[in-house]
Structures are given as structure tokens and as C-alpha cells.
Structure 1
């Protein structure tokens, strides 16, 4: 038989537990649920298939900004009134530009880490070393070069220093800016 105290205790526990469960919902008020509107990404983009069958038009011909004929230049010599026309041909490279810069190629490496370490060593000693080609990946051939410099004699004198520093006998080559 349950005593009156036990009945009140059980009743109080039930009321407290119901209050713990339901009172927060009463005080929170109306719940607002936020759902973002989104659009599903299509698996393939719809496009106009008539574009595939349309003919390709040739580009328009335009005039070149480079002169086709040699440029005539008049030079006033000795402040005389007689002008002598001279033809200047812009298509031929001017003399002296073929031998304008030089590099020292120290070696070609398949191990990219060794090439990077050599470049770091040379740069720490004050040499302008570089790894070519620029976007080389592991397993591809990478060249280590010092330069370019316009003084061939200066680079030639560096080869002995570089050989003692790295143990590699470098080649003195012309620098080609179009195909470094």
C-alpha cells in the first residue's frame, strides 16, 4: 500500500518531468524554419544544336601595322642642305644582337629535388641561377643555368668558380630569349 507521501512524491515527479518537457516549447514561441531555396545543377547544359551545323566564317583581312616597303630616312650630314635617303629594312635583325647575352648551363637533371638544391646553393652564393623550363614536374628533364649576362668574359671567368663550387663543368652558350 502506498502512503499519501509516496503518492504526492510520484505526482510531483510526473508534473516536474512534464514541465521540463513542455515548458521550453511554450516559452520558445512559434518556431521559424529556414529553408534555402536552391536549384539543382543540371547534368548537362542545354545548348542550341543549330550552332553545330552553322558554317565557320573566315576572319576578316586587315591591314598590317608594319610597313611593307622599306622605310626611307633622310639624314642631314654636316648641316648641308642636301639630304641623302637611306633605306632601312625592319625585317632583318640588326647586327650585334645575336651575341648580346650569354648563359652557363651547368647540367640537365631528371631528379627535380637535386636541381632545386643546386639552384638554392648557387643563389645563396650570389649567382643568378635558374631552373628551366619554369613549370617542370618530377620525372621531366630540368636544366640549371646561370645568367644571362651580356659579358661573355665575365661568365667565362665564372666557370672555374662554378666548377670548384659544384663539381660541374658548365657550358657557355648564347642566350635565346625566345627559347630559353
Structure 2
């Protein structure tokens, strides 16, 4: 076969392949998607303005200064305290609700009993109780129980000062 004929056949095949690829692109009009120009944002709501009165400045001198947070819940001895005594409340079982002070927790029962005896000698009603904790068996020292919470708070102050502890006020559970 002649070289010129071969080149013409190859050229015809190339033109045929290009025509097969690009002719459908020219005649395909369905791919053009019209642009939607409507908005998807809703209309702004109608809001009626409200007239707000200007604030009135208060006289600051009438108020007492704030108490520091550390002493906020500690009773103030200078301020007059109300003299009303709380009536003892009775639980569902019919037992009066009382209060105790947890003085300390001891690892050795002998130390707890020594401190308990000192407290009893000073006139406090004290007792010990063994409690299972995550650190093992501990002996807790309690003062009380008393029905009057305020008298127990007075005892708390004196015990805290004398023994250098921070006692905890708890409800008495028989």
C-alpha cells in the first residue's frame, strides 16, 4: 500500500473520532440550566419600637458595703441577733431532729477516746463512732446531740478555738 493512502486513511479516522466526540456537545441543548433569580431569604419581620424609660440613679449611700465572701455566712456578734428559738422538729418516725458537731476523724481509736475524755471533762457530751471509709476504719469524734442549733454553734466556736480544729455541724442520725 502506498504511504499517501495510509496517511489519508489515518487522517479520516482521526476526523471521524473527533466528530463522534464533539458533535453531540454542539447539539445537546438540555444541559443548560436556567438561573433561578428568586431569593431564598425570608422577608424581614415587622417590629414595632418600644419606648424604654431612662434609668433613675439610686442613692448609694443608703446601702451597707458588701461583706467579704470569707465571712459572709458567719454570724456577726456586733449586730443584734433575733431571740426567737426554733421549735424542735419531729421526724417521720417521731424522733426529734437534733444536731451534732463532728470534731475530728482519727485513725487510732485510742487518740479519739483521749480527746473524747477531755471534752467530757470540760462539760461537753461527746461520743465516738467507728466508720468504714476508703482509707480504712476511722473513728469519728462527735459532740452532741442537741436540739438547739444556736447553742451548738456557740460550742463550735469554743471547741474550734481551744483544739485548733474546724468542726462540722451535722444533723444527728440515731
TM category, shorter: 0.3 to 0.5
Calculate the TM-score normalised by the size of structure 1. 0.41
